[in-house]
Structure 1
Amino acid sequence: MIIHEWSAEGAGPQEEGRRFGARWSPQLTAARDSYVRLFAQSGVPAERARAIADGCRAMIETHAPEIADEFVGIADGSGLSSTDVHLLTARTEILARMTPSMECSTIVHVPEAASAPRTLQTWDWHETLSNETVVRRLRSASGTSVVTFCEFGQPAKIGVNDRGLGLHFNILHHRSDGSQTGVPVHVLARMVLDRASTVADAVEIARSVPLAASSVLTVAAFDGQTAEAAAVEVSPAGVAVLPVPRGHTLAHTNHFLDETLAAGEYSPYKTTSVPRYQCLTDAADLARTVDDRERALAFGAIPDAPISVRARPEEPEHLRWETKLTVALDVEVGALSFAAAAPADVVDAEWRRVGVLGGRNPVR
């Protein structure tokens, strides 16, 4: 997977969107074509996908107008239609309950002492999709500086801001998915990164918007004295918060941990969520590792660890997943550290670090 980098210049949302769309028009067009194919393979008719995307657009315009303006600019700059841009933004909502997804393993440790949380995540996605992605450095309408890894056409996924807050992102499945029109979960992630400084802020934002699909946002924050983290499970049926006490570690994969939401779990397909979760919890002490690359290497050294997902060639194209990214957050200085590789392959991969605009970006 190729991971591009892009930095905003500080203009308004629509102008920045136009600049981004013009620069990355080929990648945005390729992403649109790939997802249209995936929707068809997953049994979602084109007209249904477009209707969901347009419904999501209305929700974004209501709850995050500054992000809606950015999408207007992306459409203008790239030459894609507004609906096409929103197809990419709302891919989780379009695929809700229609296709199995084995996406991501996350772990976060909150130290007892006055130091920042230590995190790690894998991003697992379709082998044939999103082979070009981007780490975006931007400044939100509120003035917050954000750096986020995402697919082309998404406003955010995994990221950190200059307010001392970072966010990991895993997909979940609930029987309420697709039951209403809502703000796309990737837009919710961006709203949290743009606006939040604390776990409480992130929870408040998550509770403030209607959703059409489920995910878990694992939020970590550090104000220079106190570290905090929580897994915020979101779905159309409600929001649950699982805090991480100081001195403890929490793992999350792709099944609900909250008992109430877990009762509505929608898992019609075979999934590796439980084995990956067990792998992380069994090796929880490794999350205490201070250096982010050493942390990734430690998890990568676990023999036959299921968190390093390998594509299975015997499966149909739309059912082949692989781990495309291993990423850690530094919420103290506002930076992402990552490799385009599974944990087992980090030892041979380039380990990169990208900080927020105007922030400190130390190299370790």
Structure 2
Amino acid sequence: MIVHEWSAEAGEPQEEGRRFGARWSPQLAAARDSYLRLFAQSGVPAERARAVADECRAMTETHAAEIADEFVGIAEGSGLSLTDVHLLTARTEILARMTPSMECSTVVYVPDDASAPRTLQTWDWHETLSNETVVRRLRSASGAGVVTFCEFGQPAKIGVNDRGLGLHFNILHHRSDGSQAGVPVHVLARMILDRASTVADAVEIARSVPLAASSVLTIAAFDGQAAEAAAVEVSPAGVAVLPVPRGRTLAHTNHFLDETLAAGEYSPYETTSVPRYRCLTDAADLARIVDDRERALAFGAIPDAPISVRARPDQPEHLRWETKLTVALDVATGALSFAAAAPADVVEAEWRRVGILSDVRPASIR
């Protein structure tokens, strides 16, 4: 997988979107075509996918107008229709109505001293999809500096801001998914990175918007003196918060840990979520390792660890998943570090670090 980098300039959201769309128009068009093929393989015709995208567009315009403006600019710059830009952002909401997907293992340790949380996540996705991705550095409408890894067409996924907050992202599946129109979970992730500085801020934002699909946003924060973290499980049925006590480690994969939401779990096929979760909890002490690459190497050295997902050639194309990225967040300095590899392969991969942009003015919010 190729991970590109992109830095914003001092423009308004629509202007910055136009600049991004013009630069990355081939990647955006390729992502659109790949997702339309995946949707069709999953039983979602293109017209239905675009109808869901338009529902999500309306919700984004209502609850995150500055992000909606950015999407308008991306459409103008790339030549894609505005609906297709929202289709890329709403891929979780579109897939939630048909074929669930496996994605990601996350672990976070909260020190009991005056040091920042230590985190690690794998990003698992379809073998044939998103083989070009991007780390975006930007200044949000609220003035926050943000750096986020995401697929082309998404406003955010995994990232940190310069207010001491970071966010990991895992997909979940609930029987309420698709029961209503909602803000896309990737838009919610960007809203939190743009606006929040504490776990409480992130929870308030998550509870303030309607959702059409489920995910868990693992929030880590540091105010320079004390660390905090929580897994915020979100779904159309509600929001649950699982705080991490100081001195403890929390892991999350792709099943609900909150008992109430877990009662509505939806998983119609074999999943590796539980084995991956047990792998992380059994090796919880490794999350305490201070150096982020050494932390990744330690988890990668676990023999036959299921957190390094390998594509299964016996499965059809739309059901073949693999680990594409291993990433850690530094919320103290505002940076993410990563390798485009599974944990087991980090030893041979380039380990990159991208910090937050500091030299652009905030865009205005309307």
Class of the TM-score when normalised by the shorter of the 2 chains: over 0.9
Q: Quote the offset at 1:98 in angstroms.
A: 1.1
Equivalent residue letter for 2:273: S
- Quote the Cα distance in structure 1 between the aligned partners of 2:46 and 2:335: 38
SS in structure 1 opposite 2:114? coil
Q: Quote the offset at 1:97 in angstroms.
A: 3.8
Q: Deviations over 1:66-119 (max 9, x none)?
A: 000000000000000000101000000000041131100000000010100000
**Partner residue of 1:27?**
27
SS in structure 1 opposite 2:31? helix
Equivalent residue letter for 1:58: A
1:242 aligns with 2:242: yes
- Quote the Cα distance in structure 1 between the aligned partners of 2:92 and 2:335: 26
Is this contact kept in 2: 1:100–1:319, CA < 8 A?
no
Is this contact kept in 1: 2:100–2:173, CA < 8 A?
no
Q: Quote the offset at 1:46 in angstroms.
A: 1.2
- Quote the Cα distance in structure 2 between the aligned partners of 1:219 and 1:61: 25
**Partner residue of 1:95?**
95
**Partner residue of 1:342?**
342
**Partner residue of 1:353?**
353
SS in structure 2 opposite 1:32? helix
**Partner residue of 1:131?**
131
Equivalent residue letter for 2:198: T
**Partner residue of 1:313?**
313
Gaps of 5+ in 1: 360-364
Runs of 4 or more off by more than 2 Å in structure 1?
none
Gaps of 5+ in 2: 360-366
Q: Quote the offset at 1:11 in angstroms.
A: 0.5
Give the paired residue count.
359
- Quote the Cα distance in structure 2 between the aligned partners of 1:125 and 1:74: 24
**Partner residue of 1:294?**
294
SS in structure 1 opposite 2:29? helix
Is this contact kept in 1: 2:214–2:235, CA < 8 A?
yes
Q: How does 1:135-150 map to 2 (within 5 A)?
A: 135-150=135-150
Q: Deviations over 1:267-295 (max 9, x none)?
A: 11110000000000000000000000000
Q: Deviations over 1:323-353 (max 9, x none)?
A: 0000000000000000000000000000000
SS in structure 2 opposite 1:153? coil
**Partner residue of 2:363?**
none
- Quote the Cα distance in structure 2 between the aligned partners of 1:339 and 1:81: 33
- Quote the Cα distance in structure 2 between the aligned partners of 1:100 and 1:58: 24
**Partner residue of 1:253?**
253
- Quote the Cα distance in structure 2 between the aligned partners of 1:175 and 1:196: 29
Is this contact kept in 2: 1:97–1:266, CA < 8 A?
no
1:281 aligns with 2:273: no
**Partner residue of 1:231?**
231
Q: Quote the offset at 1:317 in angstroms.
A: 0.5
**Partner residue of 1:203?**
203
- Quote the Cα distance in structure 2 between the aligned partners of 1:58 and 1:313: 39
**Partner residue of 1:168?**
168
Equivalent residue letter for 1:271: T
- Quote the Cα distance in structure 2 between the aligned partners of 1:217 and 1:136: 19
**Partner residue of 1:84?**
84
Is this contact kept in 2: 1:156–1:186, CA < 8 A?
yes
**Partner residue of 1:362?**
none
SS in structure 2 opposite 1:204? helix
Q: Quote the offset at 1:47 in angstroms.
A: 1.1
SS in structure 1 opposite 2:128? coil
TM-score, scaled relative to structure 2: 0.98
1:69 aligns with 2:69: yes
SS in structure 2 opposite 1:309? coil
- Quote the Cα distance in structure 1 between the aligned partners of 2:175 and 2:319: 21
**Partner residue of 2:213?**
213
- Quote the Cα distance in structure 2 between the aligned partners of 1:70 and 1:269: 37
TM-score, scaled relative to structure 1: 0.98
- Quote the Cα distance in structure 1 between the aligned partners of 2:299 and 2:185: 28
- Quote the Cα distance in structure 1 between the aligned partners of 2:64 and 2:38: 27
**Partner residue of 2:8?**
8
- Quote the Cα distance in structure 1 between the aligned partners of 2:40 and 2:269: 18
Equivalent residue letter for 1:185: V
Is this contact kept in 2: 1:10–1:138, CA < 8 A?
no
**Partner residue of 1:178?**
178
- Quote the Cα distance in structure 2 between the aligned partners of 1:306 and 1:205: 33
- Quote the Cα distance in structure 2 between the aligned partners of 1:40 and 1:182: 22
- Quote the Cα distance in structure 2 between the aligned partners of 1:44 and 1:9: 37
1:264 aligns with 2:264: yes
Equivalent residue letter for 2:254: N
- Quote the Cα distance in structure 1 between the aligned partners of 2:80 and 2:307: 36
**Once superposed, what is the RMSD of the aligned Cα atoms?**
0.6
Q: Deviations over 1:99-141 (max 9, x none)?
A: 1311000000000101000000000000000000000000001
Equivalent residue letter for 1:296: A
SS in structure 1 opposite 2:37? helix
Is this contact kept in 2: 1:97–1:173, CA < 8 A?
no
SS in structure 1 opposite 2:267? coil
